[in-house]
Amino acid sequence: MNKQIFKKSGILVISHIIILLFLLPVPVYAQNRVLWKVDVGVENLSQVAIGEEGTIYVASDRGYLHAFDLDGHLKWRFKANHWRLSTPVIDKEGTIYFLDEEADFYALKKDGSLKWSTNIGERGFISPAVGSRGTIYISSLNKNFYAFNKDGSLKWQHDIDGWGRRNPVVWHDGTIYTTADNGESLLALTPEGKRKWEFNTKGKITSPAIGPLGTIYFGDTGDYFYAVDPEGILKWREKFKYHFTTGPIVGRDGIIYVTNGRGENTLYALKPDGSILWEAETEDFKLQTPAIANNGTIYTGSRDGHNVFAFNQDGTLKWKQHVDSEVNSSPQIGEDGTVYIATEDSTYALRGSSTGPMNSSWPLCGQNVRNTSCQTGFHIFSLPDLNMFLFSRNILIGTLLGFLIGFTIKKSIKIILFGIGLILIIMIVLSKYDVLVIQWSQIEMFYNNFITRYDFNELLNRVYLWFGNSIPVAGSFGFGFLIGLKTG
């Protein structure tokens, strides 16, 4: 009898410890997340692109394209003819495309050698896009839009009535969306270069993002944010306090995440109908386009306060990391969860907690880690990523809570009390020898800010939302409950 009690008590102790590790508040400033930093010694680095074998590419204003390995060691660098390079873009074969400020267009092999180059006219260094069949699209500053074949030959060109200003994006049916009329309208082109429609706005528009049903989302300098359907018809338009200079991203559930870019210090989460789900303020202004990981973490950086922020999917701050200079680009997320940031003069690799970008229609500034700005297909009713399912904190908590409740119903409350007491003793002993640091102030803050603030009905509502909004979590709770009953 005693052996059974201790055996089942041991199960309870382990379960309690795991739950405590996940539920106890952790300070957002508790650790340095910098895995490595490479000081390039130049100003204004571009957004990072990630190629085969995890090779990291970043371009600079001094005319260099740098290639680093996963540990931050330089593999090679290429010197362009002129300064100020665009963000690099990588096709399926590993070819790297970019432009310089004098509109020289380059294609490099994976080893950094030149494959071909051509000039497209006047000054401009807007990043290209690569379609699903390998066609490269460039919106220029000389009133023309270009489509190039993979060998560098011109496929077609189209007059866009003024400067393009923003990089184009491509939907999976081949439709190309680009800015026209000096950046104050959105132009839709067929894969053959024929005009489909043009949508005029109140100001110069941002780079667009495409939702799971083909809706195009973008903001403008007239303080408006738009949703336009694939036929060019306005779905909705919302007015904000400040103008938009950075583009949006889209999560798996259709939620749109966007920052104003310059005038405000807020990250917005918008529902598919345009209403605000939540808004998260930071102490910094000039936030960059966000990126969302497959565990729901949203990353963004600031040019104003030299910080990188990580937010939970409910808008609460997860952590922040200070860097040495302005964050010049949107974050990039590697397959191992590493978050790559380019600042004025350095490239950072920060430790993340995911296993790559979210499997959504537009999770990153360039849609994917290769920055092709092409949505190659998206399953609207896709199951959650296996890695996200296996490593989700809520799945584990749901299972353990279900197990404990089921076990408690079946067994005497004495065993529960024994397990809690044993956990407290272990925690006190470990904290005495500095193995475990108990954040009593954080626990007190959690109590003051949550337990005493919300009434019982609010607490029940939050529990309902936690389970009701996630079938896997509810299922894991039921599974844990049945195991608890069986074990007891």
For the segment 399-408, what is each residue's pLDDT rounded down to a tens digit?
A: 777 777 777 7
Task: For residues 437-453, give the mean pLDDT.
Answer: 45
State the span(s) of the chain assigned CATH 2.130.10.10.
43-292+356-383
Q: What is the pLDDT of residue 435?
A: 46
pLDDT at 415 over 90: no
Q: What is the pLDDT of residue 434?
A: 46
pLDDT tier at 167 (50, 70, 90 boundaries)?
confident
Q: Does CATH place domain 43-292+356-383 in 3.40.50.720?
A: no
pLDDT tier at 431 (50, 70, 90 boundaries)?
low
Q: What is the pLDDT of residue 156?
A: 95
Higher pLDDT, 368 or 405: 368
Mean residue pLDDT of the chain comes to 79
- Alpha-carbon distance of 155 to 7, in angstroms, equals 72
Task: For residues 377-401, give the mean pLDDT.
Answer: 52
Q: What is the pLDDT of residue 384?
A: 41
Q: What is the pLDDT of residue 318?
A: 92
Nearest CA-CA partner of 149 in 110, 82, 91: 91
Q: Give yes or no for a contact between 13 and 404, defined as CB atoms under 8 angstroms apart.
A: no
Higher pLDDT, 463 or 114: 114
- Alpha-carbon distance of 298 to 365, in angstroms, equals 12
| pTM score of the predicted model | 0.73
pLDDT tier at 461 (50, 70, 90 boundaries)?
very low
Which structure tokens are listed for 271? 């529902």
Q: What is the pLDDT of residue 483?
A: 76
Q: What are phi and psi of 147, to 5 degrees?
A: -125, 125
Q: Residues 235-294: pLDDT tens digits?
A: 999 988 877 778 899 998 889 999 876 667 889 999 999 999 999 988 877 888 999 999
Q: Give yes or no for a contact between 297 and 310, defined as CB atoms under 8 angstroms apart.
A: yes
pLDDT at 11 over 60: no
In terms of residues, how long is the chain?
Answer: 488
Residue in the block written with tokens 């540990």: 71
